[in-house]
Amino acid sequence: MKPNNIKQMRILKTILAIAYIIGVTSCNELDLASLDKANSESWYAKQDHYRYSLNDLYRNTFFKKPSDTWSDDYTIRTNGNTVKNGTVDSEWGDAATYWAHLYKGVSRANTVIAELEAKGEVLGEDVRNQFMGEAEFMKASFYGQLIYFFGDVPFFDKNISIDESYTVARTDLNTVKGKVYELFDRAAAKLPASYEGAIYATKGAALAYKARTALYLGDYEVAKTAAKACIDLGVYSLHNDFADLFFSKTKVSSEFIFTFPRSNDLDIRVGINTYIPRNHPSGYAQTHPTWNLLASAYCTDGLPVDESPLFDPHNPFMNRDPRLLATIIPFGKLKADDDRTPESGTNFYGIEFNTHPLARQVMNYNENKMIVNKDTRSIGAYASFNGLVRSKGCDEEWLDDRKTETADIACRYAEVLLTYAEAKIELNEIDDSVLEVLNSLRERGYAGSGVNYPVIATKDQGKLRLIVRNERRIELAFEGMRYMDLIRWQLAEKALVGNNYGLAKINQQPDLSKPVTGDMITNVIEPGHWFWGITPEIDNDGLPNFQALDDAGMCSILSVMEFDKTRQYLFPIPNSNRKLNPELTQNPGY
């Protein structure tokens, strides 16, 4: 609607000016036009008006997790990025986008809260409470993200005037987080535990997000209490099949706490060509799980690869946690008693997946014929540079149209269990409940594999700290959690520094009639060199080291990481906003 008088035009200009000043119009990836601004004085006169305004906040744009490519779990071919190159500065577009979108969300939540306080009598008490709880949950979530990304940030109880916006300073983090926790508590007190029909933010979502925020900020007592309260609701449980949880068919699950549904009919879906193997139609698999992730998963005896007698570097998927095989497409020998070899491929939805340089043709089981193998570096110049391709969430619907309705899972119950366990471990309050939640995740992860899960029995704090961190890595891989884990554990300066490794140099020779020669493939297919010729070492923080393979010429350096520990543990305050408001100070090092 267009403003129809001078007063409404002035209101619209004020809203746009405030949005510009606090940065909510810069670097937007989406058209975030909202219905929550009063274009007529009759707005917020009906229940639907509040519902429309709240619905506008249910966008994954406002709950965007850090890119997995910023972490040591994911890599794009030989490319680096601003985070891992150590080149984050005050002009960094991602920081400006987070700042812009989150403050836009805060402004909209504040508007709804103010209108509910002023005009909410038009609603019944139950509806008014629910709507207020949703708005408070949103505001708390947005500010929670702002403080663990930026540290001290301006806090507004209510939307501010143009004049005020020029002079507002950053609020101390401790003050903001206190208000955030209070908002989550108020939201949890008002929201229902579940809904009939349409699903909105729940009591469990408020508790889960409070637990996540507190964990990220190192407030373990708060995290433990919130996670336990979410568990005690008795609403959530682990999905019975780990791999199935992420498939397109799983639209609803008792494990989902907060999700953003997708719909092909409404064209709300995600393109996933970047993950699909190149032998499948339209797949180009440019984004790959790292060797670091592959090496990190424990073996079926519960030991890391450099300690377990079950690990075979030539068959890196054999005797490994089944969640690994549901995360990265496996190849080679998978069980000690099968007849496969390190050179064996895997039937991945009707087409053999095999990145071995000699596998220049693979079987198309759908058509019962051999086809050129585009997934090996000896054929495809842009085939996986480290031999790995993602499998988590990749199902037949992905392969049918390269689009998927898979639910966008913002928060699930497994995370709450891991938060509870980690908080208790860090508080050194280790009891049977910690072991129970960790073992429940392993039990579910191993379900249907035919292998008994390795039971966690130790109550040693140091050992459990490594275990829970590894559980988070393998359980939550590619769910946008790893980067912030490295940040809060102060491990980014180790995990995101040094070499990112892949396959040793392979020269492409597409002509299948010509034999493979020694100078075509360097030190990869010699006896004992595939897939890894040497078992990588795992350090005291659970991070793999491939230096021995590098020294032996059994791998190549894809990129070099240089995370800057002097400043990058916090995002920079966007320079564009500081130019408009000189009271905004900058984080150290920028």
Domain range holding 121? 6-76+89-191+571-580
pLDDT digits (tens, 9 = 90+) for 239-285: 999 999 999 889 899 999 999 877 666 555 566 667 889 999 878 89
471 is a domain residue: no
- Calpha distance 259→253 (Å, rounded): 10
Position 512 confidence tier, pLDDT thresholds 50, 70, 90: low
Q: What is the CATH number of the domain that holds 175?
A: 1.25.40.890
- Structural Rg of the chain based on CA atoms: 25
Structurally, how many domains does the chain consist of?
1
- Calpha distance 117→370 (Å, rounded): 68
pTM exceeds 0.75, yes or no = yes
Q: What percent of the chain has pLDDT over 70?
A: 86
353 is a domain residue: no
72 is a domain residue: yes
Q: In the prediction, which pLDDT does 119 show? A: 87
Q: Name the nearest CA neighbour of 231 among 437, 476, 472.
A: 437
244 is a domain residue: no
Element (H, E) at 370: strand 369-372
Q: In the prediction, which pLDDT does 400 show? A: 62
Least confident range from 110-119, 215-224, 460-469: namely: 110-119
Q: What percent of the chain has pLDDT over 90?
A: 74
71 is a domain residue: yes
pLDDT above 70 for 469: yes
Least confident range from 41-45, 167-171, 237-241, 550-554: namely: 41-45
163 is a domain residue: yes
Count CB-CB contacts under 10 A for residue 515.
Answer: 7
Least confident range from 253-257, 490-494, 551-555: namely: 551-555
pLDDT digits (tens, 9 = 90+) for 165-204: 778 999 999 999 999 999 999 999 999 999 987 789 999 9
pLDDT: is 249 or 325 the higher one?
Answer: 325
Least confident range from 28-32, 329-333, 456-460, 514-518: namely: 28-32
34 is a domain residue: yes
As given in the structure block, the two tokens for residue 397 are 């619907």
* Whole-number average pLDDT of the chain: 88
408 is a domain residue: no
